[in-house]
Amino acid sequence: MAVKVDQELCTGCELCVEICPDVFEMNDEGKAVVKSAANEDADCVDEAVDSCPTSAISKE
């Protein structure tokens, strides 16, 4: 399963990083991204997806 962050929708609120810091981090533009070696099956990913205020995070 792949986790993706839509950079156009992301507002940089950092909620996903607070909820799931092992999977998400902020990039130089202040947008959330998935860490390169992240465990995308971590339990916190679903909470981050559900909590994103702009629905920028998706699982495929």
What DSSP letter does each residue of 38-51 carry, written as one string?
--TT-THHHHHHHH
Q: Which residues, in sequence order, are bridge partners of residue 33?
A: 25
Structural domains for the chain: 3-59 (3.30.70.20)
> Is residue 1 predicted with pLDDT exceeding 80?
no
Q: What is the pLDDT of residue 42?
A: 87
- pTM value > 0.75: yes
Single-letter amino acid, residue 19: I
What are 34's two structure tokens? 């998935």
Cα radius of gyration (the chain): 10
Taking only the tens place, the pLDDT of each residue in 14-50 is: 999 999 999 999 999 999 999 988 888 889 999 999 9
